[in-house]
């Protein structure tokens, strides 16, 4: 099968590309390298440097004629989305619509969309959140990702585009950039490995559902065979506080410092974890890596960068 993956030079996308290549698929990567890295792109994949919003995207899709599009490219910085919602909407909504129109005009049969369970639900009414939980995002990033989910429903109803939405929690692992849009695990790992001081935003009691990147990759592979018009939460169903994460990673790295506490980030949910019951039942998916094993592998990748 020929699969076009946007954001295939990025943290999660590049891992998905590796797995698709290993499975024997013909893989086409589209990435503008704003946050992705060319060296992370599997050499067996065909690479286009292009922006989601560019007219070139339609030409690429029409030329390659993929059987499936896996859409990972996005602006994911919650803080910047809050400060500049126009930019966030331009990339995540307008860019995704450009991709969907390209898919429709080229007869693409199926679409896998990387969404966010960490942001679309807003402040949870109950935990863990299942897919029926109300969606009330409290940051523009969550709004933009949810908007594309709604557009996918429109394209399915009107043009019979089959889609699977995967709502991610806080994904971590090797290749996650600790700078810029980096997640807390990558930031902690970089500072602890180098013995540098670090800051925890807020009280540290905020909780996240941390999922190792290889578990996310497995879900993407399984989603290729799932029936259309489905939404699946990925996650462990367990929240871990940032303070707990700090203690665990301090122990693993031998970090002797103590954090400085700063103001909380605007637009971020305080506590979130995701119920994966539907993914277990329909996809046969469940996390394989517990937090200790995932953190050990991640810390090793920071100590031994390739």
Whose CA is closest to 34, among 65, 3, 69, 80? 80
The 10 Å CB-count burial string (b at 16+, else e) for 203-238 is: ebebbbbbbbbbbbbbbbbbbbebeeebbbbbbbbe
Q: How far is Cα 117 from Cα 272, in angstroms, rounded to an integer? A: 8
Long-range pairs of 151-157 with CB within 8 A, sequence gap ≥ 24: 151/93, 151/96, 151/97, 151/100, 152/100, 152/111, 152/113, 153/229, 155/100, 155/103, 155/104, 155/111, 156/228, 156/229
Backbone φ and ψ of 261, nearest 5°: -100, 130
**In 42-135, which ranges are E strands?**
46-49, 68-71, 110-116
- Active site annotation includes 141: yes
Identify the active-site residue in 48, 141, 155, 163.
Answer: 141
Measured distance CA(22)–CA(51) in Å, rounded: 26
- From residue 228, how far is each of 27, 68, 109, 157, 214 by CA, in Å? 21, 12, 10, 11, 23
Question: Catalytic residue positions?
Answer: 141
């Amino acid at each position: 099968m020929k699969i076009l993956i946007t954001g295939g030079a990025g943290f999660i996308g590049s891992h998905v590309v590796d797995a698709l290549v290993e499975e024997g698929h013909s893989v086409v990567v589209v990435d503008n390298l704003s946050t992705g890295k060319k060296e992370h792109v599997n050499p067996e994949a065909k690479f286009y440097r292009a922006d989601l919003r560019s007219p070139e995207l339609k030409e690429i899709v029409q030329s390659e004629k993929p059987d499936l599009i896996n859409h990972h490219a996005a602006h994911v910085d919650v803080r910047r989305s809050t400060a500049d919602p126009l930019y966030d909407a331009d990339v995540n909504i307008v860019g995704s619509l450009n991709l969907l129109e390209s898919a429709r005009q080229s007869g693409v049969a199926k679409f896998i969309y990387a969404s966010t369970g960490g942001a679309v639900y807003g402040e949870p009414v109950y935990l863990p959140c299942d897919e029926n939980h109300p969606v009330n995002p409290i940051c523009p990033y969550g709004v933009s990702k949810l908007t594309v989910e709604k557009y996918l429903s429109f394209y399915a109803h009107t043009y019979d585009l089959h889609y699977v939405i995967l709502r991610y929690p806080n994904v971590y692992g090797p290749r996650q950039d600790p700078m810029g849009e980096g997640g807390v695990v990558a930031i902690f790992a970089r500072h602890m490995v180098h013995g540098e001081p670090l800051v925890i935003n807020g009280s540290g009691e905020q909780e996240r559902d941390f999922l190792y990147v290889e578990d996310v990759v497995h879900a993407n592979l399984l989603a290729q065979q799932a029936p259309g018009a489905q939404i699946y939460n990925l996650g462990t169903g367990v929240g871990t506080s940032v303070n707990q994460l700090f203690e665990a990673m301090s122990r693993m790295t031998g970090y002797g410092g103590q954090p400085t506490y700063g103001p909380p980030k605007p637009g971020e949910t305080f506590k979130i974890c995701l119920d994966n019951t539907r993914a277990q039942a329909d996809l046969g998916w469940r996390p394989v890596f517990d937090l200790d094993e995932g953190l050990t592998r991640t810390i090793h990748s920071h100590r031994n960068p390739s």
